[in-house]
Structure 1
Amino acid sequence: MVTGAARGLGALLARRLAHHGATVALVGLEPDELTRVAADCGAQASVWQADITDRAALQRVARGIEQRHERVDIVVANAGIAVGGPFVDSDPVAFNRVIEVNLLGSIATARAFLPALVRNKGYLLQVASLAALTPAPMMAAYCASKSGVEAFAHALRPEVAHHGVTVGVAYLSWTDTDMVRGADQEEGLRRLRARLPWPANRTYPLAPAVEALLAGIARRRPHVYGQRWLSGMQLVRGLLPGLVARLASREVRRLEPQLRAAGRGAVGRGGAADTAIRDSADPAA
């Protein structure tokens, strides 16, 4: 089962899992996109439309997937959104929604699917980010949410290990997805990212990152790195907050006018889909 499977990382990972013989259940907000992905995943693939922050709906989806496919062995908590720009200028609703989707949605995913994983001694992979390893100015909501899911997965791992369940965390740098392309449409964010030190200033192709995740799933690894150099960041992560604060403050000051003009909503087409769902559920929106 893969959440956020309508596009980007989730869609390609689902296709590659199916290619290697897995029966995949695709969960997301966009039924047409999910159906297109499922068409590439074999006749047994199934599509389930759900907002992962709706715990009751996700519980129903979890039961439905297990009833249809008889078992759930692998769960990839991938769904996520991002907003960019200065915290002081941020829309509180959009900011909080990132936390809700990325962190609470991942927790809801684990809660819904862990009973099936326990029954089958399965594997839960939580997709985190470079943002869990190092702070990134102008991405406070995303960093907070991805740091949260990393900590949640690390705390959950020893709780379920004696049941035969393995919990992994996947880390990716800037990878060529709708989310990253959407962020790059904001001039200030694009210029700030370009000033990051190598190799964090690059956008990496999606396919090799997905292959790295696929290998990690096959080996049920506790840490999976979409780009190899990220493993080295674990060794110096304690130094990074101070280093980023010292170096990034100059760039933030220089780019402040462009950064303050950054959009207030979730970036990319996936973010737009989430915003549409949220607005349709809120008559005052």
Structure 2
Amino acid sequence: MPGKVVLITGASRGIGAAVARRLAGEGDQLALVGLEPEELKKVAEDCGPDAGWWETDVTDLASLRTAVEGIVARYGRIDVVVASAGIAAPGFSRSMDPDVWERVLDVDLYGVWRTVRLTLPYLLESKGYLLLVSSLAAIVHIPGLASYNVSKAGVEAMGNSLRTELRHLGVKVGVAHLTFVDTDMVRGVDEHPVFGKVRTGIPLANRVYPLELAVDKFTQGIRKRSRVVHVPGWIGPLKIFRALIPHVVELGSRFSVAKADRAALADIEARGVAASTRASGAGGLADAEKAAKR
């Protein structure tokens, strides 16, 4: 008997793709949504004959609606939605490309909202599970990633609100918080000549965890319909100290940020603002190319 129908956004690479492969191996039917059709096709092939893929930009409501309708037409239902599409663009707010700053919110925050809006009617029918992917960035606000911090804090707030709004209707809502995991996006940030060094100098953000850990935690969360998923587990207790964390970040970065600010301006002068502050990794490049065509 086929397992659950699981829709995953951002399924071309990284956590979305890896979780899709794991769930497919456990018998679920995967509906993969994202950019980069060749990568999506490869992931779908890994997920078996029941998997389908839809090239979709989560910033385009019409495109996303077409994908969701296609998924329902093919499978007849949606049981689980994992809203994991996201990009990160390193840069200080005063000097980075403002269009890129806003694009991060459009993908990471409003893209999640559009996903919720369009899939919720089907989750209500199946009394399903919705997992919104936030980040440690919602709790620890790393300098040089302001747009990402803002978007992930918004996703957390959205999930917390939806959890209460939908509980009596039988839909469970989870929010995933994860620190830096070994993905293409994180490697792209670390390769930045300025901001890779900023991240590695901040406590709680200076370690990269294996992708397999995230896959394990996400899969467990989906199976248990958990209200929170923490990758790694110490993020849960860390939330208790939210009021203190900004002071710790400020203290730890009081010397490094001034130096990085000068370096960022020099990098923009040398490479141009588009190259210096674009979204990181191959997925970020694909998103930038998509945005440029709109």
Residue in structure 1 matching 2:208, options 203, 211, 224: 203
CA distance in 2 between counterparts of 1:32 and 1:213 reads 25
CA distance in 1 between counterparts of 2:291 and 2:257 reads 31
Contact 1:126 1:170 in 2 (8 A): yes
Residue in structure 2 matching 1:251, options 232, 243, 256: 256
Q: Secondary structure at the match of 1:24?
A: strand
Contact 1:117 1:165 in 2 (8 A): yes
What residue is the counterpart of 1:91 in the other structure?
A: 97
What residue is the counterpart of 1:266 in the other structure?
A: 279
Contact 2:142 2:199 in 1 (8 A): no
Residue in structure 1 matching 2:292, options 276, 279, 282: 279
Contact 1:129 1:146 in 2 (8 A): yes
What residue is the counterpart of 1:41 in the other structure?
A: 47
**Is structure 2 residue 124 aligned with structure 1 residue 118?**
yes
Q: Secondary structure at the match of 1:80?
A: coil
In the TM superposition, what are the counterparts of 1:120-159 in structure 2 within 5 Å? 120-159=126-165
**What's the Cα RMSD here?**
1.1
CA distance in 1 between counterparts of 2:197 and 2:285 reads 23
**Is structure 2 residue 176 aligned with structure 1 residue 170?**
yes
Contact 1:123 1:166 in 2 (8 A): yes
Task: Kindly state the Cα deviation for residue 258 of structure 1 after the two structures are TM-superposed.
Answer: 2.5
Identity, in percent, stands at 44
Task: Kindly state the Cα deviation for residue 44 of structure 1 after the two structures are TM-superposed.
Answer: 0.6
Structure 1 unaligned regions, length at least 5: none
Task: Kindly state the Cα deviation for residue 88 of structure 1 after the two structures are TM-superposed.
Answer: 0.5
Contact 1:172 1:225 in 2 (8 A): yes
What residue is the counterpart of 1:180 in the other structure?
A: 186
Q: What TM-score, normalized by structure 1, do the two folds share? A: 0.96
CA distance in 2 between counterparts of 1:130 and 1:60 reads 32
What residue is the counterpart of 1:161 in the other structure?
A: 167
Task: Kindly state the Cα deviation for residue 274 of structure 1 after the two structures are TM-superposed.
Answer: 0.5
What residue is the counterpart of 1:221 in the other structure?
A: 226
CA distance in 2 between counterparts of 1:118 and 1:272 reads 35
What residue is the counterpart of 1:238 in the other structure?
A: 243
**Is structure 2 residue 77 aligned with structure 1 residue 71?**
yes
Q: Secondary structure at the match of 1:135?
A: coil
Task: Kindly state the Cα deviation for residue 131 of structure 1 after the two structures are TM-superposed.
Answer: 0.2
Aligned residue identity for 1:224: V
Report how many aligned residue pairs link the two structures.
280
Contact 1:128 1:170 in 2 (8 A): yes
CA distance in 1 between counterparts of 2:62 and 2:205 reads 39
Q: Secondary structure at the match of 1:253?
A: helix
Structure 2 unaligned regions, length at least 5: 1-6, 269-275
Task: Kindly state the Cα deviation for residue 22 of structure 1 after the two structures are TM-superposed.
Answer: 0.5
Contact 2:202 2:249 in 1 (8 A): no
What residue is the counterpart of 1:192 in the other structure?
A: 198
